[in-house]
Amino acid sequence: MFTNFSYIFISILVILLISAFRILREYERGVIFMLGRFYRVKGPGLIIVIPIIQQMVRVDLRTIVMDVPTQDVISRDNVSVKVNAVVYFRVLEPDKAIIQVENFYDATSQLAQTTLRSVLGQHELDEMLAERDSLNIDIQTSLDQQTDAWGIKVSNVEIKHVDLDESMIRAIAKQAEAERTRRAKIIHAEGEMQAAEKLLEAAKILSGQPEAIQLRYLQTLTEIAGEKSSTIVFPLDILKGFK
């Protein structure tokens, strides 16, 4: 007959046997440690972990979407702005993500914040507003190089908002208005120059042919007559050009 101790022993043995079986999903891996030392990476599917002797740490291999909190950034032209972003990354080497850094998510978050301030601080405000694609690539490249030792791949970085204070918004609006005024004056001056060139060419042609001047004169009189003028007086010498 089994004693109470035997029942307890068998129960513990069954519990340990059941706990030795683990199931990992397709996007999960298990980092196995044997007596405190790294053993291997297992998964996905059904795996066996020897109780007490081995321990397992689950690692998710799916892409993680992480919001970077709003950061105060001073641009190269000494403009203070608030910038936030979103970072997409995933674990490529589970063993490094567990062994090389204490908490890879928090570490990547802190690194993204400092990298965001560092990279944007090297550019002027106009570049932040107009060249976001190139800035995103710069931040992503810098982050990816630093997280490579942790077995993490930063696939994409997107700057979401660049917020300015009210005084800076008004200054930018004035600058844009001045720029539009400058362009309008340049276009007007270029038009005047082209018109003057055409008038000079026309004067040269008319000076060589007096009959053309007479015809132009008559055309002008016709236009004046159409403007509700009742009487038009012009010298008879104008007809001599047609003899």
> Mean pLDDT throughout 18-35?
92
Domain count, the chain: 4
Query: Which residue type sits at 147?
Result: T
In a domain? residue 54: yes
96: left (phi over 0), alpha (psi -120 to 50) or beta: alpha
- Residues 76, 128 within the same domain: yes
In a domain? residue 1: no
Contact 92, 100 (CB under 8 A): no
In a domain? residue 100: yes
Q: Is the omega angle on the peptide bond into residue 44 within 30 degrees of 0, that is, cis?
A: yes
- Residues 86, 112 within the same domain: yes
Q: Which residue has the tokens 């291999």?
A: 61
CA separation for the pair 84, 160 (Å, rounded): 6
Q: In which order are the strands placed within the sheet that holds 80-91?
A: 64-74, 80-91, 152-163
In a domain? residue 5: no
| pLDDT tops 90 at residue 90 | yes
- Residues 178, 107 within the same domain: no
CA separation for the pair 159, 133 (Å, rounded): 9
- Residues 153, 103 within the same domain: yes
Q: What is the model's pLDDT at position 183?
A: 84
Tell me the per-residue pLDDT of 136-183, one tens digit each, with 9 for 90 and over: 999 999 999 999 999 999 999 999 988 887 766 566 666 667 777 888
Give the whole-number percent of the chain exceeding pLDDT 90. Answer: 47
In a domain? residue 133: yes
Range of 229's domain?
Answer: 210-243
CA separation for the pair 152, 89 (Å, rounded): 7
List, in sequence order, the alpha helices (H) in 121-165: 125-130, 132-147
What DSSP character marks residue 63? P
- Residues 80, 133 within the same domain: yes
- Residues 69, 131 within the same domain: yes
Comparing C-alpha atoms, which of 86, 74, 64, 88 is closest to residue 160?
A: 86
CA separation for the pair 230, 243 (Å, rounded): 28
Strands 54-60 and 45-48: unpaired
In a domain? residue 142: yes
CA separation for the pair 81, 161 (Å, rounded): 10
